[in-house]
Chains A and B, each alone.
Chain A
Amino acid sequence: MAQLGTTYGKHRAYADSEYDALAIPSDCTETLKLIFTPVNDVAWSSRWYLEFTDGKYIRAVERFQRWPGLTGIAKRMTVAYHYGDIVRRNPDDNLPGYLSAGTDQVDIRIDNICMPIHLHYQSQNPHIPQSSVIGLDLESVDMFIFVKGILKHRDTKKPLNSIFKFKIR
């Protein structure tokens, strides 16, 4: 769904149904509940933080904006899905803080910050481009696919590359 054009109405309907169906485990707290900030049907952003009692956290943020040249259709412009250790906290909101130019621990991260969508796996560096990720279309991952994958990984102890079905070239 993520790579296709959409609208806020359709995206919210999808998010509401996925969120309602999500079983959040007892060792997990939503320190920032999923929140949408819409402008209209073709522009919005969302943020979501989940923290675990073992010191790990998930951050899922997205920003959609009108698709240039297409009337009434929005495109996902910014995405960052992160799972890893809580290294520090942002003093403004006490949520886990991540520095992209640091050495912060990462279990898995998918983002398109500073370069086209790419993967970080088991460490902050390298930034692994889509061309080196076999078996997983990074653009096809949305926040619910990511969060459910992390919850499954924690529940089953299966490696993340097995959960998300990818290999790195």
Chain B
Amino acid sequence: MSPVREQFLTLLEVEAVIHKFEEKYHVSTTEFLTNTALRAKMFDDDVFQWEAFNAHRDELERVAEEVRSAYLGSVKKSTDETHSANNNLALAA
């Protein structure tokens, strides 16, 4: 087993870390991302982590949206098929 560590975070865990940075610096993530003067006064590693967790959240949300869209697409398709089948039954009756 590799000695290199790996951590998988849920959306809630990622948002908790982002919230911790917002509380530490008393600014929103939007303000952090747009205010270069503020970032220059912050610890380099805090800037890195805040950006990384924000990107992490975006990617998690993007993947969740992909899954949701695919699910809704399949539900709509199966509903359409069910309607069609019901119509055929009605016609047969």
With the chains together, A38 CA to B41 CA distance in Å?
28
Which chain B positions have C-beta within 8 A of A39? 56, 59-60, 63
Shortest CB distance A99–B (Å): 7
Taking CB atoms, residues of chain B closer than 8 Å to A45 are: 48, 52, 55-56
User: What is the bound-complex CA distance between A36 and B51, given in angstroms?
Assistant: 15
The reply to whether A35 and B44 contact each other, CB–CB distance below 8 Å, is no
Q: Are A100 and B45 in contact (CB under 8 A)?
A: no
Question: What are 7 sample pairs from A and B whose C-beta atoms fall under 8 A apart?
Answer: A36-B7, A45-B52, A45-B55, A61-B48, A98-B43, A98-B44, A99-B40
Instruction: Give bound CA distance, A40 to B2, whole Å.
Output: 19
Report Cα–Cα, A59/B46, bound state, in Å. Answer: 13
Interface size on A, residues (CB 8 A): 35
Nearest neighbor of B47 in chain A, beta-carbon distance: A113
The 4 closest A-B pairs by CB, nearest first: A101-B40, A45-B52, A98-B44, A43-B59
Taking CB atoms, residues of chain B closer than 8 Å to A63 are 48, 51-52, 55
B interface SS class: helix
List the B residue with the shortest CB-CB distance to A101.
B40
Chain A interfacial positions (CB closer than 8 Å to B):
12, 15-16, 19-20, 33-40, 43, 45, 47, 59, 61, 63, 65-66, 77-78, 80, 82, 90, 92, 95, 97-101, 113-114
Q: A37-B8, A45-B55, A113-B47 are in contact. List 19 more A-B contacts (CB 8 A).
A: A33-B3, A37-B52, A40-B63, A43-B56, A63-B48, A66-B59, A78-B52, A80-B48, A90-B43, A95-B45, A97-B43, A97-B44, A98-B45, A99-B43, A99-B44, A100-B40, A100-B47, A101-B41, A114-B36
Contact of A16 among B2, B7, B36, B41 (CB under 8 A): B2
Bound complex: CA of A98 vs CA of B48, how far in Å? 11
* Residue of A whose beta carbon sits closest to that of B46: A90
Q: Given the known A-B contacts A80-B44, A113-B44, are A12 and B4 also in contact in the complex, defined by CB atoms under 8 Å?
A: yes
